[in-house]
A and B are shown apart, each in its own frame.
Chain A
Amino acid sequence: MTAQLAFLIGLVVAIVALALTRKQWGPAAGHAIPSIWRIAKITVAEARRRRVIQAVVILVVVILVSMTFFSYLSPHEQSRMLISGGLSAITVFGILLAIFIAAFLIPQELESRTVYAILAKPVRRFEFVLGKYVGALIILAAIVVVMTVVLVGVLLIQDQLVQDLPDSAFNPNLEAVIFAAVMNYFAVAILTGLIILISTVASTTMTVISAFIIWAVGSLQSTIHDLAEHADIAVTKLLLLVVYNVLPKLENFDYRHEVSNYMPINVGSGIEAIVQGAGYTIVVLILASIFFNDRQV
């Protein structure tokens, strides 16, 4: 509660500070937003031309559709399995695509040296970083939307197919499924920001490895917290607390269990996670901009 209050106070202070200093940053923002948007657009356009992402999305769609073949299960079990499996596919492939898209965004520009012609134009380095991030968000949003629409479609079709069966208890739980997919997208957005930060200082390989570790640890944050509370050795405790406080709490965005088991969903805690995640991502992107600004390209 104290942390949440501190966060809210910080947010209010930041908004007031921005409002009071708008004359200073206003013109800069007026320049920055179109630049960020242009870079985001070219990032999206480039990703569309490279067929790898489409191939992965098609694979996920095939997996989702193939899940309808489990007709030996009872309708209720089938709906649970479809929701759980479908959301897991969206989560895993969403995260995997986020890792592989974000980890290559900036290093690829440096390696192919396409960044030279851009940074020689009136584009600030933070605009480049944010443009890349926004571009990645748009690509990932499109991917998550496609996968969610397919999952919803599969659930609706299956619902139609089994509704005439006696004792049908198929429940597509659509609202909750969409909510879980949206929450997954926010987790992807946070992870993308963090990967971009790492990619500004590390090699692509290191970035990919770090991203997988962060994903794993971020999905086990409550376990990390428990371990920290029960750790006897001070150094271990400190290390675990640092990990707990520094890495994003991705498990707060994971609603697969609640949705597939038809448990009530606490939307408030979801919104709280989103607000905290947004603050975390802002900090991460500021750091990424600072590191990239200092980088020799």
Chain B
Amino acid sequence: MANDEIVLSIEGLTKVYRSLFTPIGIKAVDNLNLSVYRGETYSIVGPNGSGKTTTLKIILGLIYPTAGTATIFGKGIADLSVRERIGFLPEDAYLYDVFNGEELIDFYAGLFGFSKRRRRELTDELLSLVGMQANRKVPFRECSKGMRQRLALAQALVNDPEMLILDEPTSGLDPAGRHQMTELILELKRRGKTILLCSHFLAEVEEVCDRVGIMYRGRLVSEGSLKELAGEPDEIVITTEGLDSGKAVEIAALAAVRNVDDGVVRLGKESAGDLWSTLEAINRAGGRVVEVLRPRPTLQDVFVRAIRQDAEETVEEVQ
């Protein structure tokens, strides 16, 4: 889906928060460089305080960078034409709480100068898309968290944006709400939208994103597609049944086997050539092979690895 056209380009972006009490400043974003291509879904992941939201705020022109630039469609965010082409879903869905969905969509659509008729059409379309048609008259403050998030997504879509910026779209949602939101994001992806998503729900990121940037302490410590980041599977996992503890110890003693735990036999990737002999050994020991897998590391694994590596490098630099 993605092509070579860069939609969002960030170069050397740095943000230092200074105050009377911290004259040296706190570096929230540190020399960040990244590009998002048309049609791709890019996710910035990172723990709380890693600089994700600060980066989004700079991209949206809500705060100003200390150094570096961010351009969308080749133009600075101060250019109003950029904001005609993007949509933003803020974290925790901050919308006017005294209005209902219908009124909110009408208001936000009005900011794009749409006629009354077009605003009415948009309200119907978007409330249907996000599944809020039946609750269109419910005031925002009386909406559940999931309904609020869906309304916030609807307001981000009023201008049929080419690029969507989503800040923690599933934050605070229950599993059902998270599933609904993920389905909506996938639907928008299918429609060809370029999506920049900030999240710390790695499962959701794994499900919807083409590329991931891992941010930690304001820096992009790792970036790439999930496949690139995960690398080759580094073990073979054999799930067995009927392997008693004595036999399990015998299997664990095989040179190719890393460990055996609760009937799950793990081989290092370097022992792939010994797979058949291991399966035969399990068979001889009276075990039954249920499943053989070469699982890729999950985003969670990649994330933890990247952060740990960055922390170790920082310690080395300090030393």
Contact = CB atoms under 8 A, between A and B. Distances in A.
Interface of A: 31, 34-35, 38, 42, 45-46, 49-50, 112-114, 116-124, 296-297
Contact of A38 (B57, B84, B99, B107): B107
B111 A35 contact: yes
B60 A124 contact: no
Nearest to A116: B90
Interface stretch (B61-69, B123-131, B199-207, B262-270): B61-69
A118 B88 CA distance: 10
Nearest to B159: A121
B7 to A, nearest CB: 16
Contacts of A46: 96, 98-99
A122 B62 contact: no
B260 interface: no
Given A35-B111, A38-B110, A121 B83 contact: yes
Interface magnitude class on chain B:
20 to 34
Given A117-B108, A121-B108, A296-B62, A50 B88 contact: no
Contact of B60 (A34, A45, A113, A119): A119
> Top 4 closest A-B pairs, CB basis?
A120-B88, A113-B94, A49-B98, A296-B63
B41 interface: no
B107 A112 contact: no
A106 to B, nearest CB: 14
B86 interface: yes
B64 A121 contact: no
A122 B88 CA distance: 12
B80 A122 contact: yes
22 contacts: A31-B113, A34-B110, A38-B110, A46-B99, A49-B99, A50-B98, A112-B94, A112-B97, A113-B92, A116-B94, A117-B108, A117-B152, A117-B155, A117-B156, A120-B60, A120-B86, A120-B88, A120-B90, A121-B111, A121-B159, A122-B80, A122-B111
A38 B80 CA distance: 17
A117 B95 contact: yes
B113 A117 contact: no
A117 B90 contact: yes
A113 B61 CA distance: 14
Contacts, number: 72
A123 B96 contact: no
B52 to A, nearest CB: 15
B32 to A, nearest CB: 17
Given A42-B107, A46-B98, A296-B63, A116 B88 contact: yes
Contacts of B84: 122
Given A42-B96, A112-B94, A114-B94, A119 B61 contact: yes
Contacts of A112: 94, 97
A42 B108 CA distance: 10
Interface string B108-148: 10111100000000000000000000000000000000000
Nearest to B58: A296
Contacts of A124: 80
A46 B103 CA distance: 11
Contacts of B113: 31, 34
A182 to B, nearest CB: 31
Contacts of A119: 60-62
Contacts of A116: 60, 62, 88, 90, 94
Contacts of B152: 117
A296 B94 contact: no
Contacts of B96: 42, 46, 114
A135 B210 CA distance: 44
B56 to A, nearest CB: 10
Contact of A113 (B81, B90, B112): B90
A34 B112 CA distance: 9
A267 B265 CA distance: 96
Nearest to A118: B111
A296 B64 contact: yes
A113 B56 CA distance: 14
A87 to B, nearest CB: 33
A117 B108 CA distance: 8
A160 B70 CA distance: 71
A34 B116 CA distance: 13
A204 B163 CA distance: 35
Nearest to A125: B61
Given A117-B95, A121-B108, 5 more contacts: A112-B94, A116-B94, A118-B111, A120-B86, A122-B111
B111 A38 contact: yes
A49 B107 CA distance: 15
A121 B112 contact: yes
A165 B92 CA distance: 67
Contacts of B87: 120
Contacts of A31: 80, 113
Contacts of A42: 96, 107
B128 to A, nearest CB: 21
B154 to A, nearest CB: 11
A136 B87 CA distance: 28
A46 B87 CA distance: 24
B84 to A, nearest CB: 5
